[in-house]
Amino acid sequence: MIELQDVHKRLGGRQILDGLTLSVPQGMTFVLMGPSGTGKSVTLKHIIGILRPDSGSVQVDGQEVPRMDRAQLMALRKRMGYLFQNGALINWLSVAANVALPLQEHSKLGKGEVDDRVHEVLRLVGMDHAAKQMPPDISGGMKLRAGLARALVTNPEYVLYDEPNAGLDPIISQQIHELIVEVRDRLGVTSLIVTHSRACAVHCGDRIGVLEHGRIAVQGTVAEMTHSDHPLARAFLGGGAD
């Protein structure tokens, strides 16, 4: 269970989050939409403890994230996968080495087991063929998929996806949506997805919320939201949206 209560955060002299409240029940997928620059990525960074709120509460499994010490944060992060916007791959490591990184630094797996696991996840995101390539040499969509593999490689209980299908063609997009749903159904993962894509929201989400002016302006189930008259819901999920 992920729970944010009345979170406020100022960044670069602007009030980015202004009373944000949202909750993701165990095993559910919450889709967060909203205009560019409204603080969607900032919200995700609060949940994994990279940013701390000025006020308000951020809880995972009833534990207050901003009050965690280093060891507790590490323990939380081991249970959480995070797909960064654009992948955030380490530039001088190959795709496979990037995906192996979370396993090498902390698990007691041997080299063979790590390799097997890395290739298994790379296959899931359709990147097995590019395992040896370096991040500067691959396309944006490929970086994103490698980042996705890195987020999933540790079999996390929670996954935060920041724009999992940005810049992907419709066929690969569809595969990624199916992967997200499969991860939820098979492993019972609780997740939060930030996306601009109606297809992704409708396909992957249990609930959808739209962020505006630092708080959730409207939220509901997928059915409620696709039929809502709220202008933001119509802008992001109506017939004209894609």
Partner 1 sequence: MNLLATIGASLSARVDRAGYVLNLLVRAVGYLPRLGRRWRFLLDTAFNAGVRSLPVTMVVAAFAGAILAMQTGIELRRFGDTAVLGTITALSMCREMGPFITAVILAATVGSSIAAELGTMQVSDEIAALEVMSVDPVDYLVLPRVVAMAIMCPTLTVLSNLVGIYGGSVIAEHNLGVSSSLYWLSAREALTSSATLLPKEVYVGLLKAVVFGIAIATVSCAAGLRASGGALGVGLAVQAAVRNSVILIIVLGFIVTWFFYFLAG
Ligand X SMILES: Nc1ncnc2c1ncn2[C@@H]1O[C@H](COP(=O)(O)OP(=O)(O)OP(=O)(O)O)[C@@H](O)[C@H]1O
Residues of this chain, 20-39, that bind ligand X according to CB under 6 A? 36-39
For residues 57 to 96, the per-residue mask of contacts with ligand X, x marking binding by CB under 6 A and - elsewhere, is ----------------------------x-----------
DSSP secondary structure of 87-112: ----TTS-HHHHHHHHHHHH----HH
How is residue 138 annotated by DSSP?
S
Rounded CA separation 213/53 (Å):
16
37 binds, among Mg ion, partner 1, ligand X, none (CB under 5 to 8 A by kind): ligand X
Site size for Mg ion, by CB under 5 A? 2
Rounded CA separation 147/144 (Å):
5
Which one, of 162, 156, 235, lies nearest residue 200 by Cα?
162
Q: Does 16 bind ligand X (CB under 6 A)?
A: yes
The residue behind tokens 């490689």 is: 153
SS3 call for 148 = helix
50 binds, among partner 1, Mg ion, ligand X, none (CB under 5 to 8 A by kind): partner 1
42 binds, among Mg ion, partner 1, ligand X, none (CB under 5 to 8 A by kind): ligand X
Rounded CA separation 151/8 (Å):
27
The residue behind tokens 């959808």 is: 208
Q: Does 41 bind Mg ion (CB under 5 A)?
A: yes
Q: Which residues bind partner 1 (CB under 8 A)?
A: 12, 45, 48, 50, 73-74, 77-78, 80, 82, 84-86, 88-91, 101-102, 105-106, 150
* Contact present, 210 and 216 (Cβ < 8 Å): yes
For residues 42 to 81, the per-residue mask of contacts with Mg ion, x marking binding by CB under 5 A and - elsewhere, is ----------------------------------------
Structure tokens at 189: 């993962």
Residues that bind Mg ion (CB under 5 A): 41, 85
Binding site for ligand X (CB under 6 A): 11-12, 16, 36-42, 85
